[in-house]
């Protein structure tokens, strides 16, 4: 009975010496295509589902002229928010905000200011 106790003690003492886990975790820093519950879990910052019944997966953010959703409190999107530097040009409504159905197009704010 002493051997398992010694083994357990040895494992506890060696645990801090084990290599650190990889950058990607089981819950955060997920790659495109992996299942998610919140956008904060995804490297891309977008946890996307295609319908109310589908499983959500990490997806790339929307590029210029692609459909988008403005940032939401829910953390799961039917259309991903825009890539960095782009804005989601959308007419927000109360109902759309509640149902997560306010969609627009990603635009470059710099190109609309020219003139």
CATH of the domain at 65: 2.10.80.10
Residue 7 maps to a domain:
no
Residue 115 maps to a domain:
no
The pLDDT of residue 20:
45
Residue 84 maps to a domain:
yes
The pLDDT of residue 19:
46
Residue 10 maps to a domain:
no
Residue 88 maps to a domain:
yes
The pLDDT of residue 89:
86
Residue 78 maps to a domain:
yes
Residue 32 maps to a domain:
yes
The pLDDT of residue 71:
76
Residue 112 maps to a domain:
no
- With DSSP H G I counted as helix, E B as strand and the rest as coil, what are the percentages for the chain, rounded to 5? 25, 15, 60
Determine the structural domain holding residue 62 and report its residue range.
Answer: 26-107
- 57 sits in which H/E element: strand 57-58
3-state secondary structure of 47: strand
Average pLDDT of the chain, as a whole number: 79
The pLDDT of residue 64:
95
pLDDT in tens, 75-115: 899 999 999 999 998 876 666 555 556 789 999 998 855 54
Higher-confidence position of 1 and 84: 84
**Averaged pLDDT, 28-41:** 93
Give me the number of domains the chain comprises. 1
Lowest mean pLDDT among 6-10, 38-42, 51-55, 66-70: 6-10
């Amino acid at each position: 009975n002493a051997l398992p106790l010694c083994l357990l003690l040895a494992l506890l003492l060696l645990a801090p010496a084990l290599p650190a886990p990889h950058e990607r975790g089981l819950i955060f820093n997920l790659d495109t295509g992996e299942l998610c519950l919140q956008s904060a879990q995804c490297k891309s910052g977008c946890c996307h589902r295609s319908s109310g019944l589908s499983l959500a997966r990490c997806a790339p953010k929307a590029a210029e002229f692609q459909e988008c959703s403005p940032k939401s409190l829910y953390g799961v999107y039917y259309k991903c928010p825009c890539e960095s530097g782009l804005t989601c040009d959308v007419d927000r409504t109360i109902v759309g905000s509640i149902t997560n159905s306010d969609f627009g197009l990603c635009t470059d704010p710099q190109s609309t200011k020219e003139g």
